[in-house]
Amino acid sequence: MPIMSQKVLLSSKEINIILHRLACQLLENHLSFENTVLIGIQPRGKFLAQRLTKILKEEYKVNQINLGFLDITFYRDDFRRGEKTLEATKTKIDFLIEDKNVVLIDDVLYTGRSINAALTALQSFGRPKDVELLCLIDRRFSRHLPIQPNYRGRQVDAINDEKVKVMWEENDGEDIIYLVNR
């Protein structure tokens, strides 16, 4: 059995600062959010999208934000190569994305295959004006596809054997990000 070790990449305090910066960057580019929709990629992009929405509403007084969640399970081109059981999560997009500025939100950007799948899945909902990408952790030098974030929390150099684990207080009991050595 290989020994697993993990180190803290970001503490709760650091995550909080980064979330506020990302919210401000979104605000700077989208102002009223009238023509913007935020889409959290299921399962774990949902928590990040909800957090950013909360900050924008409660701390920056944005009145109305269209927030949706997108399940990409059946749009993946690799199906994680059978490495884990597929469990479809829920898509919830109860607004139009036609001609809107869409911001896709996910916790980690690694190979880019999840975002590729999200772009395909999104097509069933209409033709957005443009699509941006926000991720909390950008794993540098790991891309299989020409996909880059417009907004990034922190860029990390992680080797393939390592996994970035993003934990959220509402789901995992604590906001913390680990780099796990498998």
Ligand X SMILES: O=P(O)(O)OC[C@H]1O[C@H](OP(=O)(O)OP(=O)(O)O)[C@H](O)[C@@H]1O
Q: Which residues bind ligand X (CB under 6 A)?
A: 41, 44, 80, 106-114
Residue 27 or 178 having the CB closest to ligand X? 178
Nearest distance in Å: CB 23, ligand X: 20
Rounded CA separation 87/153 (Å):
27
Name which of 86, 131, 136 is nearest 109 in CA terms. Answer: 136
Count Cβ neighbours within 10 Å for each residue of 78-107 and write b for 16 or more, e otherwise.
eeeeeeeeeeeeebebeeebeebbbbbbbb
Nearest distance in Å: CB 59, ligand X: 25
CB atoms under 10 Å from CB of 30, counted, come to: 19
Residue 33 or 110 having the CB closest to ligand X? 110
Cis omega (within 30 of 0) for bond into 146: no
Residue 88 or 96 having the CB closest to ligand X? 88
Separation of CA 172 from chain center: 17
Residue 62 or 164 having the CB closest to ligand X? 164
Nearest distance in Å: CB 83, ligand X: 7
Nearest distance in Å: CB 114, ligand X: 3
Residue 33 or 45 having the CB closest to ligand X? 45
Structure tokens at 181: 């050595």
The DSSP call for residue 3 is P
